[in-house]
C-alpha cells in the first residue's frame, strides 16, 4: 500500500514519509539535509500521522526511523530553537514536544525506533518514547542540550532516568557525551544492535504482532502507568487491566488454541 492509500487525501507531508507493509507502518523522518532535525512543521506532521495510525485498526505496529545515511534524528531544529525566548515561550515549546512524545508512547500498538545514526537531543527523546529501540553499529545516542545552554525538554530528563537509572542518565546529560551502540546496549538504552537496524526492527515488530493486539496494548499501558506509581498502586493497575484482558475473545482464542495444539487466530476483540 502506498502513502496515498493510507492517508486522507488532504495530507501532504513534506518532512516525513509513511510506508505500509501489511499491518506494519514505517514512519521515516525525512529531512536528511538537516540530519532529520525536528522543526515545528515536522512535529506537526508526525503528530497528524500518529493520529491517523491510532485511528486505523488495520495497523498493528509502527517503526520510526530517519531518512538518509547519517541520522535517526539529530535533535530539535536548532535554527528554530534559537528564536525561542522568554520563560513562557520556552515552556510552550517544551510542552509541545512532550505532547508529541506522549502521543508516541501512548499509541496502543508496539512502536519501535530503528536508529541508524545520530539520535541526539529531541531525537533520542523520540526514541525514548518508543517501546523498543534497535541501533545499528554506527548509531550515536546522546542528550547534548547542556552544550547549547539548555536542558532536555522533550521528556529526556524523565524517560532516560526511568529507562537506564538516574546515575547513568545524569552522566549522559551532564557530560553531553555520545554513546555508541554497544555501550547503549550494555546499559539497556537500546534493546538490539544489528547491522541493518530497520530490517531488525521489522523482524521484532513481526514477532510482536503475532500476539494478541489488546494484550499488547494493555501490557504497554500497565508498564507506562505503573512506572508513575509505587509498587502497590502498580499492582492494582495490573490487576484492573488483567480483569479487562480476560474478558476478551482473544484470551479465549489463545487458551483454546494452546489446548487444541494449533496456532491462535487473534482478532483483536
Concatenated DSSP letters for 47-114? HHHHHHHHT-TT--EEEEEESSSSEEE--B-HHHHTT--HHHHHHHHHHHHHHHHHHHHT-SS-EEEE
DSSP state of 212: -
Which part of the chain contacts ligand CO8 (CB under 6 A), choosing from 16-24, 57-65, 87-95, 261-269? Answer: 87-95
Count Cβ atoms below 10 Å from residue 127 Cβ, excluding itself: 31
C-beta of 94 vs 191, nearer to ligand CO8: 94
DSSP state of 262: S
> Phi first, then psi: what are they for 8, rounded to 5°?
-65, 145
How many residues make contact with ligand CO8 (CB under 6 A)?
24
Contacts for 250 with CB less than 8 Å, ≥ 6 apart: 212, 213, 214, 215, 264, 266, 267, 268, 269
With CB under 6 A as the contact rule, the residue among 7, 52, 54, 78 that binds ligand CO8 is: 78
45 counts as catalytic: no
C-beta of 35 vs 107, nearer to ligand CO8: 35
CA 123 to chain centroid: 10
- Measured from the CB of residue 123, what is the shortest distance to ligand CO8 in angstroms? 7
Residue 155 found at the interface with ligand CO8 (CB under 6 A) = no
Residue 152 found at the interface with ligand CO8 (CB under 6 A) = yes
Helix 213-227 / helix 231-245 crossing angle, nearest 10 deg: 170
Catalytic residue among 45, 58, 125, 238, which? 125
Residue 16 found at the interface with ligand CO8 (CB under 6 A) = no
C-beta of 76 vs 184, nearer to ligand CO8: 76
Contacts for 205 with CB less than 8 Å, ≥ 6 apart: 24, 61, 63, 110, 112
Residue 24 found at the interface with ligand CO8 (CB under 6 A) = no
User: Residue 252: CA atoms inside 13 Å, Cβ hemisphere, count?
Assistant: 5
58 counts as catalytic: no
Q: Which of residues 32-61 bind ligand CO8 (CB under 6 A)?
A: 34-35, 37
C-beta of 110 vs 144, nearer to ligand CO8: 144
Q: Which of residues 117-136 bind ligand CO8 (CB under 6 A)?
A: 118, 120-122
**Residues tagged active-site:** 125, 145
List interacting residues with ligand CO8 (CB under 6 A): 34-35, 37, 74-79, 90, 93-94, 97, 118, 120-122, 144-145, 148, 150, 152-154
Amino acid at each position: 500500500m502506498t502513502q496515498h492509500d493510507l492517508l486522507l487525501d488532504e495530507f501532504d507531508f513534506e518532512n516525513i514519509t509513511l510506508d505500509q507493509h501489511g499491518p506494519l507502518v514505517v514512519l521515516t523522518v525525512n529531512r536528511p539535509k538537516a540530519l532529520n532535525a525536528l522543526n515545528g512543521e515536522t512535529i506537526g506532521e508526525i503528530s497528524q500521522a500518529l493520529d491517523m495510525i491510532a485511528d486505523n485498526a488495520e495497523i498493528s505496529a509502527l517503526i520510526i526511523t530517519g531518512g538518509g545515511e547519517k541520522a535517526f534524528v539529530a535533535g530539535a531544529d536548532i535554527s528554530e530553537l534559537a528564536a525561542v525566548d522568554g520563560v513562557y515561550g520556552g515552556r510552550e515549546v517544551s510542552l509541545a514536544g512532550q505532547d508529541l512524545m506522549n502521543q508516541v508512547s501512548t499509541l496502543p500498538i508496539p512502536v519501535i525506533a530503528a536508529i541508524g545514526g545520530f539520535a541526539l537531543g529531541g531525537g533520542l527523546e523520540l526514541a525514548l518514547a518508543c517501546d523498543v529501540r534497535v541501533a545499528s553499529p554506527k548509531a550515536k545516542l546522546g542528550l547534548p542540550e547542556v552544550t547549547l545552554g539548555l536542558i532536555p525538554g522533550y521528556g529526556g530528563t524523565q524517560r532516560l532516568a526511568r529507562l537506564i537509572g538516574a546515575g547513568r542518565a545524569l552522566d549522559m546529560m551532564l557530560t553531553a557525551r555520545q554513546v555508541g551502540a554497544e555501550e547503549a546496549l550494555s546499559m539497556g538504552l537500546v534493546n538490539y544492535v544489528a547491522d541493518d537496524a530497520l530490517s531488525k526492527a521489522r523482524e521484532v515488530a513481526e514477532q510482536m504482532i503475532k500476539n494478541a493486539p489488546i494484550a499488547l496494548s494493555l501490557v504497554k499501558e500497565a508498564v507506562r502507568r505503573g512506572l508513575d506509581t509505587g509498587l502497590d498502586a502498580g499492582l492494582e493497575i495490573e490487576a484492573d487491566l488483567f480483569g479487562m484482558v480476560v474478558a476478551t475473545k482473544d484470551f479465549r482464542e489463545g487458551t483454546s488454541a494452546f489446548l487444541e495444539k494449533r496456532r491462535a487466530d487473534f482478532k483483536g476483540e
